[in-house]
Chains A and B, each alone.
Chain A
Amino acid sequence: MKHTSQMVAKPYFIAAIALFVGQILFGVIMGMQYVVGDFLFPEIPFNVARMVHTNLLIVWLLFGFMGAAYYMVPDEAETELHSPLLAKVMFWIFLAAGVVTILGYLLVPYATLAEITMNDLLPTMGREFLEQPTIIKIGIVIVALAFLYNIGMTILKGRKTVINLVLLIGLVGLAVFFLFAFYNPSNIVLDKLFWWFVVHLWVEGVWELILGSLLAYVLIKTTGVDREVIEKWLYVIIAMALITGLIGTGHHFFWIGTPGYWQWWGSIFSAMEPIPFFMMTIFAFNMVNKRRRQHPNKAAVLWALGCSVMAFLGAGVWGFMHTLSFVNYYTHGSQITAAHGHMAFYGAYVMIVLAIISYAMPMLNGRKAANSMKAQVVEMWSFWLMTISMVFITLFLTAAGILQVYLQRMNGDASLPFMVVQDKIEIFYWMREGAGIIFLIGLVVYIASFFVGRDQPEAEMPK
């Protein structure tokens, strides 16, 4: 680690992992509620558990992105962070806001939360993923602006690299598109239309720039491949991500009261959205094959390669499966959507954050380049446990989804009501819950990897 200010990344990473644990615990609770309907009812109704599950995911990924930026940007810019103090202050503000929000969800009925946070003054609550009280949303904007200022000033005074620039564009986009969260008209069609300007333009737009930048950074560091080559790849990948993904937004505008022409725009462009993910896979494996050095941190390389593969499968393949409008007509809002959501988020965003944590944490803990072999072996076990169980979660949800679509939507006059179908496909929900518990075990193993082999020497650079 060249710059001491990179140390501010550490609390961000620790908070990210802690909130990740919370996310998975509530995921397991929800999985149980799918099969034992009254589990924890009425104390933790499903909608509350789901808010906690999805909001924790978003918050911990944001912690991960911020930590990654604080670690990577000074290193790339070859200068100290503009203000480590601001980064530390913002850490505590963001953490406090996150914890208060989650406690609010859990401790009072949502309507009460809306009332005491005066949602009526500027109603923004009660929309999927944007459930946070308005005052918290304003806090998020302030934290994001302070963070952007800090990162921007650092980049401005230091060496300008493509990797830093792409990250900055992604982060600015993240902040700008979040502003649509404050637009909530009474017209539900308009509401839904612009809600996607946050949700789609985040996860199928600017977040892909962040993903590409972080992946390129980890690959440069661990493979020693020429920067020129990596930067060229990065440009092409993010170009394809936005060229396909911007108009690809249209695949959300099929059935929400918007004009029919979106079925053409949305189908054609979103059908190409797998291309950048496929290129990312080719890119990652190519760079590792052409490596000029053997990096002792094998776990970080594994996360980076795994990320490229799982992002392609989850976002690319599982997204393509139901993105064409004539398919989506039947699959829209079914367990197929849930299957895709799980693997895409895990593959693209969870794994890139874990990759950068895996790369950076040894240095943040005072190691030269990598953890001991023992710690790495445990970490790689957790990689396989979490990744394989996520594959099975996705497969079981896909099976449930196919049956659901058939029984509920494609069976003519004999199509069955929602709850009847849910009972019929229960077996798949049980198996999903089993896979979810294995994921949780994988996460426990992951955390254990930070505590084992600490007294052992660093893994050697292989000859």
Chain B
Amino acid sequence: MSQGFTKSMARNIFYGGSMFFFLLLLVLTFDTVKSLPQTDNRENLTEQVAKGKHVWENNNCIGCHTLMGEGAYFAPELGNVYKRMGNSKEAIIAFIKFRPKNGIPGRRSMPQFNLTDDELDAVAEFLKYVSEINNQNWPPNIQG
């Protein structure tokens, strides 16, 4: 780099630039948090949905699946699974409930998590809730 551009100028760009853009990130984040009620479907965030999120987390579902595109890429997207299964909680519950304990020979298979009926209902309720979040129409189609 040329002689006219000194180390202290570089240092000032670093401190000034990072401070400025960090503050900008905070401002944008603040604005986002403020406007989330319009998109995040919180009016339907019931006790059962919150419980479903714990079931989702305690069984590490994100270790195979994506949820709104984030997670692992081994198994289908679940952010829209409620809609993909024909807007049916029962279909989701039945799918999780009847996974064979020892898998399917040669195929990927979801483990049998032995969830209680209440946990099954909660996680299905959670997935229904997520499918109704306004996330800019992602994924592009029902296949996820």
The segment from A353-361, A410-418, A435-443 that touches chain B is A410-418
Minimum CB–CB distance for A413 against chain B, Å: 8
14 A–B contacts, CB within 8 A, in A order: A37-B103, A46-B75, A47-B60, A47-B63, A47-B72, A111-B58, A115-B58, A128-B70, A188-B40, A191-B53, A235-B7, A235-B14, A262-B28, A408-B143
The interface residues of chain A lying within 8 Å CB-to-CB of B134 are 257
- B101's partner among A42, A233, A415 (CB-CB below 8 A) is A42
The interface stretch among A61-69, A93-101, A145-153, A248-256 is A248-256
Q: CA of A51 to CA of B57 in the docked complex: distance in angstroms?
A: 13
Type the 1/0 row for A322-350, where 1 means its CB is closer than 8 Å to any CB of B.
00000001101111011000000000000
Instruction: Evaluate contact between A188 and B53: CB separation under 8 angstroms.
Output: yes
Which A residues lie at the B interface, using CB under 8 A? 30, 33-34, 36-38, 41-42, 45-48, 50-51, 109-111, 114-115, 119-120, 123, 125-128, 131, 162, 184, 186-193, 228-229, 231-233, 235-236, 238-239, 242-243, 246-247, 249-250, 252-260, 262-263, 265, 329-330, 332-335, 337-338, 408-410, 412, 415-419, 422
From 39 to 71 in chain B, residues with beta carbon under 8 angstroms from any chain A beta carbon are 39-42, 45, 49-50, 53-54, 56-64, 66-71
B24 contacts A247, C-beta separation under 8 Å: yes
CB distance from A343 to the nearest CB of B (A): 16
Residues of B within 8 A of A409 (CB): 139-141, 143
Most chain A Cβ neighbours within 10 Å, of B25, B38, B45, B113: B25
Contact residue among A233, A236, A250 (Cβ-Cβ distance under 8 Å from B13): A236
Closest chain B residue, CB of each to CB of A413: B141
Q: Are B103 and A51 in contact (CB under 8 A)?
A: no
The 8 residue pairs across chains A and B that have the minimum distance between CB atoms: A47-B63, A126-B57, A333-B69, A37-B108, A255-B138, A235-B10, A239-B14, A186-B50
- Bound complex: CA A327 to CA B98 (Å): 37
Complex contacts, B140 vs chain A, CB 8 Å: 329-330, 409-410
Please measure, in the bound complex, the distance between the C-alpha atom of A317 and the C-alpha atom of B21, giving whole angstroms. 23
> Which A residues are in CB contact (< 8 Å) with B21?
242-243, 246-247
Contacts of B41 in A (CB 8 A): 257
With a CB–CB cut-off of 8 A, which chain B residues contact A34?
74
Verify if B36 is at the interface (C-beta below 8 Å from A). Answer: yes
**In the bound complex, do residue A125 and residue B57 qualify as a contact, i.e. CB atoms below 8 Å apart?**
yes
Contact A126 B62 (CB under 8 A): yes
**Roughly how many angstroms separate A119 CA and B60 CA in the complex, as a whole number?**
13
Neighbouring A residues of B143 by C-beta, 8 Å: 408-409, 415-418
A-B contact count (CB 8 A): 232
B77 CB-CB contact with A under 8 Å:
yes
- B: which residues have CB within 8 A of A? 1, 5-7, 10-11, 13-14, 17-18, 21-22, 24-25, 28-29, 31-33, 35-36, 38-42, 45, 49-50, 53-54, 56-64, 66-77, 101-109, 111-113, 129-130, 133-136, 138-141, 143-144
Residues of A within 8 A of B103 (CB): 37-38, 41-42
Q: Does B24 contact A337, Cβ atoms closer than 8 Å? A: no
The reply to whether A236 and B138 contact each other, CB–CB distance below 8 Å, is no
Of residues A46, A193, A228, which shows the largest number of chain B Cβ atoms within 10 Å of its Cβ?
Answer: A46
Using Cβ atoms and an 8 Å threshold, which residues of chain A touch B1? 229, 232-233, 236
A421 to B, closest residue via Cβ: B143
Question: Is A235 a contact of B73 with CB atoms below 8 Å?
Answer: no
Q: Smallest CB–CB gap between A396 and chain B, Å?
A: 14
A33 to B107, CA, bound (A): 9
Q: Is B135 a contact partner of A249 (Cβ separation < 8 A)? A: no
Evaluate contact between B77 and A333: CB separation under 8 angstroms.
Answer: yes
Contacting pair B109 A189 (CB below 8 A): no
Given the known inter-chain contacts A47-B64, A193-B32, A333-B66, please indicate yes or no for A246 contacting B24, CB distance below 8 A. Answer: yes
Residues in chain B near residue A229, CB distance under 8 A: 1
From A126, A228, A416, give the contact of B56 (CB < 8 A): A126
Q: Could you say which residues of chain B place their CB within 8 Å of the CB of A50? A: 63-64, 72, 74
Measured in the bound complex, the distance between the Cα atoms of B40 and A186 in whole Å is: 11
Residues B108 and A131 in contact, CB atoms below 8 Å apart: no
Q: Roughly how many angstroms separate A252 CA and B90 CA in the complex, as a whole number?
A: 32
Verify B77–A239 contact, CB threshold 8 A: no
Q: Which chain B residues lie closer than 8 Å to A128 at the CB level?
A: 62-63, 70-72
Q: Report yes or no: A246 in contact with B32, Cβ–Cβ below 8 A.
A: no
Chain B hits for A110, CB < 8 A = 58-60, 63
Once the chains bind, are A46 and B74 in contact (CB under 8 Å)?
yes
CB distance from A42 to the nearest CB of B (A): 6
Cα separation A156 to B107 with both chains bound (whole Å): 58
Q: Is the CB of A41 within 8 A of B32?
A: no
